[in-house]
Amino acid sequence: MSFYVTTPIYYVNAAPHLGHAYSTIGADILARHMRQRGEDVFFLTGVDEHGEPVALAAEKEGVTPQELADRNAARFRDLMPLINASNDFFIRTTDAEHKAAVQDVLQRVHDNGHVYKGEYEGWYCPRCADFKTENEIEDGNRCPIHHIELTREKEENWFFALSAFQERLEQLYASQPDFVMPRHRYNEALSFIRGGLQDVSLSRANLTWGVTVPWDPGHVFYVWFDALLNYYTALSYARPGEDLTERFWPATYHVIGKDILKFHCVFWPAILMAAGLPVPEHVFVHGYLLMQNAEGREDKMSKSLGNVLDPFEIIERFGTDALRFYCFRDVSFGQDGVVSTAQFGQRYEAELANELGNLASRSTNMVARYRDGVVPDVSLDPALVEAFAGLEADVAGLLDRAEITQALEAIWERVRRLNAYVAETAPWQLAKDPERGEDLDRALASVIEGVRVLGVLLTPFLPETVAKLQMALGDADSTWTAAGYGARRLQRVEKAEPLFPRAA
Ligand code: MSP
């Protein structure tokens, strides 16, 4: 089975922040998990380089848009290995292949009769690069996201006849009830569609920083259509000499934030329909990471509001896995949630260092100490067999639905269960009593098997940590067949080094 997952492509008008890392890590967890299950996976991320936000930022800095794009694209590209994103390709919308493919697809939309020339007049946010409809405008004629005053724009544009797709979109939502997830976002998108669709600008006449409209070279495509198409165009040139489109299109999951729901859940399927292409299986819409401001109000973390957590700094202090863990543990994937450095530090200590880290070092240490590192080959304690029964199926089922936080919670319940088991069985007491050797064998074997399983299940979430753990366990099998409790048995273990040393 093929599994194709994407992130939004990020604007290069600013440096990456934790919000960008968040979407990318979410998609990465799904990609890594599906690889464990032996699926044929393609994971795409990249940058969105055209359009007014970039042109404006470049102008402000006195550089050309291409120079700014080159500089900031590199920063996003460098973020990927740092957060351990296992993306198969990094797309830049200034890639010549992407631009040619955009022209190709949109020419088809034109030739299929879904495009006309008209005059646009309305309210526009240059930061969103988005025309706002009346019910999207905040008091004082402001952008509801950036809170800046909207500008009145009037120009001759090519239009995409979105309104003609209302019925087909409603049919899509009826026939693919999990086209948009979670459910409340599906409802939001569907009610937007039912509220009546207006045609949208497909081109801009007054901009030059973009992909040229092939049938009217005085125009460039409206950046959103150029950007959305990345998901499709990348497949045609990501592997030199190979076209992956057949193999991976339509996409399985587009992971996005709720700010760009309208584009992905309404415009995107419509433009694909207009081009005669299949629509994606799912769009997963996550919430915002929020930061508390000085007045105690919660704001979306965003560069323009100046309240960003810098992922590079966090990684330096706590490590990549801690960041990957925190984002999905503290905020439920799909909901909004407040993040802070203080909470970050607390979870690091309480859950990673004390719960998981101690479990790993204690359990391996006890086997090393009481059994010279040899894992007793005895039957497993039924209490733990029961506690782990069905876990891997539950985790797979949750991740099939991109419910990352719930999957992590299911795993973490077992981290806690194993710690409780160690406390209950108190192997250090058993070790003092020569008559209780069998009980000790069983307790040690049962705990260490649990730790092995946790390693397999946590692989997509904490890849670096699990690699360290698996070194100590002498077993690096993270394939899904190894995910069941009792599916494999370890032979010898070594004492694990602290997985989460005290943060600097
Ligand atoms: N370039 C467009 C997307 C085009 S996709 C075809 C864009 N770029 S962006 O740089 O502004 O990134 C937006 C995405 O970054 C959001 O949809 C979300 O995935 C992520 N986030 C940015 N800030 C965020 C938070 N504060 N919280 C959570 N995610 C955030 O829009």
* Pairing label, strands 151-160, 115-125: antiparallel
- Quote the ligand 1 centre to 32 CA distance (angstroms): 22
pLDDT at residue 472 above 70? yes
Q: Name the more confident of 281 and 295.
A: 281
264 is catalytic: no
Question: Tell me, what's the pLDDT at 357?
Answer: 97
31 lines ligand 1 (CB under 6 A): no
Helix (H, G, I), strand (E, B) or coil at 5: strand
Query: Which residues neighbour 90 within 8 Å (Cβ) at sequence distance 6 or greater?
Result: 45, 46, 47, 76, 77, 80
d(CA 398, CA 396): 5
Question: Tell me, what's the pLDDT at 133?
Answer: 79
d(CA 6, CA 249): 12
Query: Which residues neighbour 178 within 8 Å (Cβ) at sequence distance 6 or greater?
Result: 186, 282, 401
pLDDT at residue 294 above 70? no
pLDDT at residue 128 above 70? yes
Question: Tell me, what's the pLDDT at 304?
Answer: 65
Question: Tell me, what's the pLDDT at 503?
Answer: 62
d(CA 229, CA 410): 36
Question: Tell me, what's the pLDDT at 347?
Answer: 92
Q: Name the more confident of 474 and 345.
A: 474
Quick one: which atom of ligand 1 is closest to the CA of 23? 19
Question: Tell me, what's the pLDDT at 90?
Answer: 98
Q: What integer best gives the mean pLDDT of the chain?
A: 94
Residue nearest to atom 22 of ligand 1 (CA): 19
d(CA 192, CA 349): 44
Question: Tell me, what's the pLDDT at 308?
Answer: 66
Residue nearest to atom 24 of ligand 1 (CA): 19
Q: Concatenated DSSP letters for 117-153? A: EEEEEEEEETTTTEEEPGGGPBTTTB-TTT-PBPEEE
pLDDT at residue 202 above 70? yes
Helix (H, G, I), strand (E, B) or coil at 352: helix
pLDDT at residue 303 above 70? no
* Pairing label, strands 151-160, 200-201: antiparallel
pLDDT at residue 37 above 90? yes
Quick one: which atom of ligand 1 is closest to the CA of 256? 19
Quick one: which atom of ligand 1 is closest to the CA of 264? 6
- Quote the ligand 1 centre to 209 CA distance (angstroms): 21
**Between the CA of residue 341 and those of 160, 177, 309, 377, 464, what are the distances in Å?**
45, 38, 8, 44, 22
pLDDT at residue 504 above 70? no
| Residue 134 Ramachandran class (φ > 0 left, ψ -120 to 50 alpha, else beta) | alpha
Question: Tell me, what's the pLDDT at 418?
Answer: 98
327 lines ligand 1 (CB under 6 A): no
Rounded mean pLDDT of 31-40?
98
d(CA 391, CA 456): 12
Residue pLDDT, tens place only, 220-263 = 999 999 999 999 999 999 999 999 999 999 999 999 999 999 99
Rounded mean pLDDT of 396-406?
98
d(CA 57, CA 61): 6
**First vs last Cα of the chain: how many Å apart?**
43
Rounded mean pLDDT of 442-450?
98
Question: Tell me, what's the pLDDT at 198?
Answer: 93
- Asked if residue 80 lies in contact with residue 90, where contact means CB atoms within 8 angstroms, the answer is yes
Residue pLDDT, tens place only, 369-386 = 999 999 999 999 999 999
Question: Tell me, what's the pLDDT at 285?
Answer: 98
495 is catalytic: no
